[in-house]
Amino acid sequence: MSLVSSTPGRAPQPSGSRLPRPVRWGSIYHAVARHGVGTSRLIVYSPVSSEHERFWARSASAFAPMSLSVGLLLWLLLVAIGASPEASAVGIVLVGVSTGAFLWWKARPLRGRVATAWSSRFVLWPHRDDEDREEMITTLSLLMERATQDLRHGRITRSVYDRVWMAVYEETHALSPGRDK
């Protein structure tokens, strides 16, 4: 792949219309429950982790909801075509549990190096500390999203991106629930 030179301080852009794949730095989750409880959760993978480790961590975290949905649909399909409901359920559970155990084992190298910060608040009765914490979580996630887009479009170099990622990782680690006082 040929690279097109860019201005000094900017990363070289690959020629062609396709942008490089984004770096999987972590995730942000916002939800409001039926009873007015707002929850925000920021997960930032360690910047020194490999793409391979992050792949297994993402796969393990997405496995439970996906396996429940696919397992139920598969069970309904097997019962509809005439298979024994009990045997189908046992087979699906065995495959699901063994696959989950495998993914859990593969994700273990990264498990201790993930920074997680969360905030829960009652939306109808705001508390300033909770709002500040949620605002900080949102700001950190927006910073990483912006840095990822800037890296993909060649506006920053990989070393600048890695410094931003490390700063967000450390800040998220400082916000971790075990560190609140």
For the CA atoms of the chain, what is the radius of gyration?
A: 21
pLDDT at position 109 over 70 = yes
Note the pLDDT tens digit of each residue in 11-40. Answer: 444 444 454 555 678 888 888 877 778 888
- Name the more confident of 146 and 30: 146
Angle between the N-to-C axes of helices 128-152 and 158-174, in degrees from 0 to 180, rounded to the nearest 10? 160
* Cα–Cα–Cα angle for 107, 112, 179, rounded to 5 degrees: 145
> Which amino acid would we find at residue 35?
H
* Neighbour order of strands in the sheet with 26-32: 26-32, 37-45, 114-122
What is the pLDDT at residue 22? 57
* The model scores a pTM over 0.95: no
Note the pLDDT tens digit of each residue in 52-79. Answer: 888 888 888 889 889 999 999 999 999 9
Average pLDDT over the chain reads: 81
Which residues, including other chains, have CB under 8 Å from residue 35's CB and lie 6 or more apart? Answer: none
